[in-house]
């Protein structure tokens, strides 16, 4: 059923066998009050993040983010030109009682979009047709592409790594929402993005210029590529915009902590351990890689990965709720500036990784509560 909805990465193949990534053996039920708290937190965090970007740029704090000097003007101009953002996902710890706490902001290449916007919605209509869900992600995506359609005339390319099913399906779902908004689109593997030295433009394999590209490919990787320096002279509009590389970097967490020390939505985060209980995170880490949970000064849980050389930030340890041995994280989606839905990932570990289960949700009706 979910494959018919374009969801082909519903299971994870591990050494002990195939296990579900999409898990409908359970669901999370929220009250309207709890959804309101998540929505309020998301808007507040979005506002703080935008102020933090302004602060980093005004004070030239690029060293903390390990952004090479040659690209700093590029980031600055992207911000000053108010380049669009399509989406981002706040990962929140939430117990339904205390204010949601920001664990990190997936601001550049957030995944779990298809399952949050489409698959859990169809699950709701099938299982609980009279109930509701905090989910207008799909409509907001079409809305932002409609805005971009008014401002751009050329074809939009949608790029991801070749051979990566999850990225391919996610980026093609985004492409589908752009098509629904009336844009002309085409998919291109990121490996096939070429460079025309005579015209100083990025091109596809037919040597057509790439004027507008949505890429599900991290900015920090792009800067290190052979063609990375060509980002500067090229006349290509990229989404997410270059200024979003500041928010996708966990170096933004200590900046937020310093700027807004009394925010109920932030965890104290520093460049050194804040006490005996904390979480060590690489600033460029993705999908829960190379995270270490420290309790009473001793490692309690850790994950491996490719980011072990750091640099790292150190975040106050936030207790997570536990439901039948599972620890959920609420992913709150911002699309076109709106808090518009949530997707929940859970794991039997305190560290949420790329194989952690996605679990749908419902909003309880007043009769239920």
In a domain, 102, yes or no: yes
In a domain, 169, yes or no: yes
Cα–Cα distances in angstroms (integers) from residue 211 to residues 154, 235, 236, in the given order: 7, 7, 5
In a domain, 314, yes or no: no
Cα 210 from Cα 194, distance rounded (Å): 9
- The number of CA neighbours under 13 Å toward the Cβ of 186 is 16
Q: Which two tokens stand for residue 298?
A: 């001793």
Asked if the peptide bond before residue 240 counts as cis, ω within 30 degrees of 0, the response is: yes
In a domain, 50, yes or no: yes
In a domain, 59, yes or no: yes
In a domain, 159, yes or no: yes
By the 8 A CB rule, do 348 and 357 touch? no
| CA angle (76 as vertex; 73, 81 as ends), nearest 5 | 120
Residue 323: beta bridge partners?
Answer: 326
Q: What is the pLDDT along the chain (369 residues), one digit of tens a residue?
A: 888 888 887 887 655 567 789 999 999 999 999 999 999 999 999 999 999 999 999 999 999 999 999 999 999 999 999 999 999 999 999 999 999 999 999 999 988 999 999 999 999 999 999 999 999 999 999 999 999 999 998 999 999 999 998 999 999 999 999 999 999 999 999 999 999 999 999 999 999 999 999 999 999 999 999 999 999 999 999 999 999 999 999 999 999 999 999 999 999 999 999 889 999 999 998 888 889 999 999 999 889 888 888 899 999 999 899 999 999 999 999 999 999 999 999 998 888 887 889 999 999 975 444
Radius of gyration of the chain (CA): 20
In a domain, 96, yes or no: yes
What is the extent of the structural domain holding 74?
Answer: 21-250+321-363
- When divided into structural domains, the chain yields a total of 1
In a domain, 284, yes or no: no
Cα 146 from Cα 183, distance rounded (Å): 8
- The number of CA neighbours under 13 Å toward the Cβ of 361 is 26
């Amino acid at each position: 059923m979910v494959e018919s909805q374009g969801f082909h990465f519903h299971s994870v193949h591990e050494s002990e066998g195939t296990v579900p990534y999409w898990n409908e053996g359970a669901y999370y039920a929220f009250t309207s009050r709890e959804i309101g708290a998540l929505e309020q937190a998301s808007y507040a965090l979005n506002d703080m993040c935008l102020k933090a970007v302004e602060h980093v740029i005004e004070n030239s704090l690029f060293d903390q983010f390990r952004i090479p000097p040659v690209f700093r003007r590029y980031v600055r101009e992207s911000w000053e030109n108010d380049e669009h953002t399509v989406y981002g996902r706040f990962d929140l710890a939430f117990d339904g009682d205390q204010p949601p706490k920001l664990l990190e902001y997936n601001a550049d290449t957030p995944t779990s979009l298809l399952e949050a916007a489409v698959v859990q919605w169809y699950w709701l209509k099938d299982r609980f047709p009279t109930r509701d869900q905090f989910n207008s992600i799909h409509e907001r995506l079409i809305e932002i592409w409609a805005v971009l359609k008014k401002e751009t005339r050329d074809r939009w390319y949608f790029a991801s790594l070749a051979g990566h099913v999850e990225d391919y399906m996610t980026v093609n779902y985004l492409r589908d929402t752009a098509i629904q908004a009336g844009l002309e689109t085409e998919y291109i593997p990121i490996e096939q993005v070429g460079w025309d030295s005579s015209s100083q433009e990025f091109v596809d394999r037919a040597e057509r210029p790439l004027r507008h590209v949505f890429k599900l490919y991290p900015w920090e990787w792009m800067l290190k590529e052979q063609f990375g320096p060509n980002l500067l002279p090229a006349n290509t509009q990229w989404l997410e915009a270059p200024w979003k590389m500041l928010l996708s970097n966990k170096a933004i967490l200590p900046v937020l902590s310093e700027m807004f020390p009394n925010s109920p939505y932030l965890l104290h985060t520093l460049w050194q351990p804040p006490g005996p209980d904390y979480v060590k995170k690489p600033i460029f880490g993705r999908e829960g890689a190379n995270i270490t949970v420290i309790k009473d000064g001793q490692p309690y849980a850790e994950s491996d990965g490719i980011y072990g050389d750091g640099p790292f930030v150190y975040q106050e340890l936030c207790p997570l709720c536990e439901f039948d041995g599972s620890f959920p994280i609420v992913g709150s989606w911002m699309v076109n500036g709106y808090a518009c839905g949530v997707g929940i990932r859970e794991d039997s570990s305190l560290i949420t990784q790329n194989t952690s289960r996605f679990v749908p949700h419902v909003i309880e009706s007043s009769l239920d509560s």
